[in-house]
Amino acid sequence: MKGVINYLNSINGDNQLNNCGYTFSKEHFQNRYAITKTKKGSQELTTYFFSTPIIRTNDNEIVDLCFEEKKNYYSFRGSDSDISINEKGITFSNIRGYLRMDLDLENSFLQKNHIISGLLSISPNLNGVTIVQKIQHNNNVEVDFDWMSCDFGIKANSKALSFLHDSFSPFATISSIGCTNEEGKVLCPAKLEYERTGSNRVKIKLSPPTGIIVDSIVFEVCLRERKLFMDTTVCSRFPIENNAFGAVSYIGKTLYFGVEWLYSKIDFGVLNKCMINRIRKIQMIIPRLSNSLTDLYAESVKLRFCSLGSTWMDKQDGEGRIIKIIESGGFYCLDLSSQLINCYDEVLKPFAGIIIKSKGYSEGSTVISTGDCCSYPQVLKIIHE
């Protein structure tokens, strides 16, 4: 629970959720994505809907972003995953199957909620783990995985690989966050490639770009849950590539992806049981993962798009109505009140979605998380009564 509250504190830029008079509750809407802040004596509520669930399926408690140290292993329970870490690697499991990641962790130890083994660091996220591998001489990172689930194949690109549980939904996803500097800020992509080495076994390789000195390669491994934001990046360099399950987007123009946009829409099925009345304001909050700061803006889309099939080649443009995006404290904030609030009865109204772009097409980009990221989740902040 503490990790979720700390994350909200960083969004708000202070410790107001912990201040005297403020309380929070997961019971207000009993929604696995939501936590509500209240203040004694005030009718105003603030509900934070995370892009990925923060309430565990097995006990209905908020995910505690903390490893538990056992006799011969470490354990962690994500929103819909049981994770076990021993000297041979990491096992992720739930009722749909398991994913096993081979790692040499024989001399690992727990330090400030990170499992450290040589140049490798492992930390928990909302439904999996985040891996930071320090790089020497710009080496690649190679890891073997095997899995057991309904096998509908693999969907992969240079940013992410998903083991499909059915025709459209992954059982698990490995997402490249990118190459980082010593501060942990993303500098450039870490290209993901894979080789199938058995019927249910793959070798993953993550590589830094040639000629760029990086400190670490960062990636996340997560079991899949339904997301609040259904999105995909599209880019001009790979015009027929869809990236519905990747964790990051390079908004702007880069050598690696050309011009890149992010299409995003809300899965109203996640919110349909929440009777949110007298809505005053709605904001979409997106983590910025790079030091580079590019002016971003959003446009409403004309028609609803398919997050699983959209590409640069068949992209639709916006309807021309600009939505301002403001950066503050490492987060981008979009005010979606006019798009999502019915002005007559102050409840949610249908909305087809947005496209996030960079102003102009000069070289440069900002790295942000997508709605699929469990390490740095997006948040929909709703102020209401």
Distance CA 177, CA 373 (A): 9
Q: Which pLDDT score is estimated for 20?
A: 44
* Percentage above 90 pLDDT, the chain: 63
Q: Which pLDDT score is estimated for 12?
A: 78
Q: Which whole number is the average pLDDT over 308-333?
A: 88
Q: Which pLDDT score is estimated for 68?
A: 93
Render pLDDT for 271-319 as a digit per residue (tens, 0 to 9): 876 778 788 999 999 999 999 888 899 999 988 788 888 889 998 888 8
Residues in the chain: 385
Q: Which pLDDT score is estimated for 90?
A: 97
pTM of the model: 0.93
Render pLDDT for 38-53 as a digit per residue (tens, 0 to 9): 877 778 888 999 999 9
Sequence-ordered list of residues with C-beta below 8 angstroms from that of 354, at least 6 positions apart, any chain: 263, 264, 265, 298, 299, 300, 301, 318, 323, 334, 336, 339
Q: Which pLDDT score is estimated for 28?
A: 61
Contact status, residue 305 vs residue 311, Cβ threshold 8 Å: no
Give the chain as a 3 state SS string: CHHHHHHHHHHHCCCCCCCCCEEEECCCCCCCCEEEEEECCCCCEEEEEECCCCECCCCCCECCCCCEECCCCEEEECCCCEEEEECCEEEEEECCEEEEEECCCCCCEEECCEEEECCEEEEEECCEEEEEEECCCCCCEEEEEEEECCCCCEEECCCEEEEECCCCCEEEEEEEEEEECCCCCEEECCEEEEEEEECCEEEEEEECCCCCCCCEEEEEEEECCCCCEEEEEEECCCCCCCECCCCEEEEEEECCCEEEEEEEEECHHHHCCCCCCCCCEEEEEEEECCCCCCCEEEEEECCCCCCCCCCCCCCCCEEEEEEEEEEECCEEEEECHHHHECCCCCCECCCCCEEEEECCCCCEEEEEECCCCCCCCCEEEEEEC
Phi, psi torsion values for 45, nearest 5 degrees: -120, 150
Is residue 150 scored above 80 in pLDDT?
no
